[in-house]
Amino acid sequence: MTDPIQLTADLIRCPSVTPEEGGALTLLESLLADAGFECDRVDRGAVSNLFARWGPKGHDRSFGFNGHTDVVPVGDESAWTKPPFAGEIHGGTLYGRGATDMKSGVAAFASAAIDFVRKTPPDGAIILAITGDEEGDAVDGTTALLDYMQAQSEQMSACIVGEPTCPDMMGEMMKIGRRGSMTAWFEVTGVQGHSAYPHRAKNPVPAMARLMDRLASHQLDKGTDHFDASTLAVVTMDTGNPATNVIPAQCTGAVNIRFNDLHTGAGLSDWLTDEARLVAEEFGVNIRTRIKISGESFLTPPGPLSDLVARAVEAETGLRPELSTTGGTSDARFIKDHCPVVEFGLVGRTMHQVDECVAVDQILQLKAIYTRILTEYFS
């Protein structure tokens, strides 16, 4: 049997701070190849990715797992009470960067898949798509793997993303969708002048304040059946002006929007651009707008895949997981165009924190859940 705890510790010892591979994918490739998986490195740009398949190519029953081995930086290493890349176990808890997000998830589904095909070779295929670019720009990670799969006529029938999804207790929540995410940056340009003679200047600051207030005061919606209300947060306003007797020429600001399935990135972009135009006309200034859409809202409707995962989770934990769309973005936003996808993983309370850690019994539970899912799917 493949030990998911030891594999998690071994992966933690690979310093794979995004986009560095750090040896993590090399370790997994060797392990999976020894178990009979066909493995291909799908590296693109500075990013390393791994595609692994057991079973026939193009089978109509091809169950997939997706995850990432890259991790966020450790920050102030002196603040850690345990070495961030040592993978040490203390009192039943495994410590290290990536312990929760999400080397434990990768170790759980890799070990479950390896043991499953060795014990009960399925009628179908199991695909593991593992990236090194989830914590970074996510441009050359899972998207590169999906591009490769399309070019090679590889297909997943369904997929689980092994991100940590449970807020406090193992088994309490799974994700069946995610809100969309976008950021808009505004640059207001007026005319610099002396603060004692404001009529000789065009102050960009009141224009920016008006724009931010209009955006933040607008109710985007009241939520939908599976999503909370969309939110807009003002995240910065700045002039870079240290002088109190100078009206600055420019002011910058930005907002971040998390939106549900009532909206699209394009529709919200049009609204933001129109609001900026109205304020520019009102104040006689110029407003330049730049928008980045990180991901669209999506939903995998409750059905066979979510039911399958929920049954396995309840059997192993005693909890029926809540079907949720909360949180930030994940690589499921790319996979949803390829096949039905849900997310289920560990308790994520310490992800990205100092002394990131995971209870070792949770790793064993997660492997058991993934094994049960594979057993029922191929039965």
User: Which residues make Cβ contacts (< 8 Å) with residue 120, sequence separation at least 6?
Assistant: 375, 378
CATH 3.30.70.360 at 180-295, yes or no: yes
Beta partners for residue 118, in sequence order = none
Under 8 Å between Cβ of 109 and 161: no
Burial of 281 (0-12, 13-18, 19+ CB in 10 A): exposed
What pLDDT, in 10s, does the model give residues 187-203?
A: 999 999 999 999 999 99
Tokens of 18: 């995004």
DSSP string, 252-281: EEEEEEEE-TT--HHHHHHHHHHHHHHHHH
Residue-wise pLDDT tens digits, 223-252: 999 999 999 999 999 999 999 999 999 999
Average pLDDT rounded to a whole number, residues 358-376: 98
Global model pTM greater than 0.95: no
Q: For all residues of the chain together, what is the average pLDDT?
A: 97
Q: Which amino acid is at 148?
A: Y
Of 370, 378, 377, the residue nearest 110 (C-alpha)? 370
Rounded to whole angstroms, the Cα distance separating 310 from 84 reads 33
d(CA 241, CA 363): 51
| CATH of segment(s) 4-178+298-377 | 3.40.630.10
Residue 169 CA to chain centroid, in angstroms? 20
- Annotated catalytic residue: which of 134, 275, 296, 316? 134
In sequence order, what are the beta bridge partners of 290?
185
Q: Mean pLDDT across the stretch 61-65?
A: 98
Residue 326: how many other CB atoms lie within 10 Å = 15
- Any bridge partners for residue 188, and if so which? 251, 287
Residue with tokens 């705890």: 5
Tell me, what's the pLDDT at 272?
A: 98
Mention every residue, 6+ apart, whose C-beta is less than 8 A from residue 49: 25, 41, 42, 43, 129, 130, 131, 132, 133, 140, 141, 142, 144, 145
pLDDT at 327 over 90: no
Active site residue 296: no
Q: Is there a catalytic annotation at residue 70?
A: yes
pLDDT at 84: 98
Q: Is the Cα dihedral 298, 302, 306, 310 positive or negative?
A: positive
Catalytic residue among 70, 133, 331, 356: 70
pLDDT grade for 144, boundaries at 50, 70 and 90: very high
Confidence (pLDDT) at 236: 98
Q: Is 39 helix (H, G, I), strand (E, B) or coil?
A: strand
pLDDT attached to residue 328? 85
Which of 16-20, 213-217, 324-328 is least confident?
324-328
Domain ranges of the chain: 4-178+298-377, 180-295
Q: What is the mean pLDDT of residues 160-167?
A: 97
Q: What does R_g of the chain's alpha carbons equal in angstroms?
A: 24
Q: Residue 183 corresponds to which tokens in the numbers above?
A: 């950021």
Query: Is there a contact between 316 and 369 (Cβ–Cβ < 8 Å)?
Result: yes
Q: Please tell me whether the peptide bond between 102 and the residue prior to it is cis, using omega within 30 degrees of 0.
A: yes
Q: What is the pLDDT of residue 137?
A: 87
Percent of the chain whose predicted confidence (pLDDT) is above 90? 98
> Which residue's structure tokens are 């002011």?
251
In the predicted model, what is the mean pLDDT of residues 355-364? 98
Q: Cβ of 313: how many Cβ atoms within 10 Å?
A: 25
Non-local (6+) Cβ contacts of 121 within 8 A are: none
Strand order in the sheet with 93-95: 89-90, 93-95, 357-359
Longest distance between any two alpha carbons in the chain, whole Å: 82
Which pLDDT band holds residue 185 (cuts at 50, 70, 90)? very high
Vertex 333 angle, CA 328 and 339, to 5°: 145
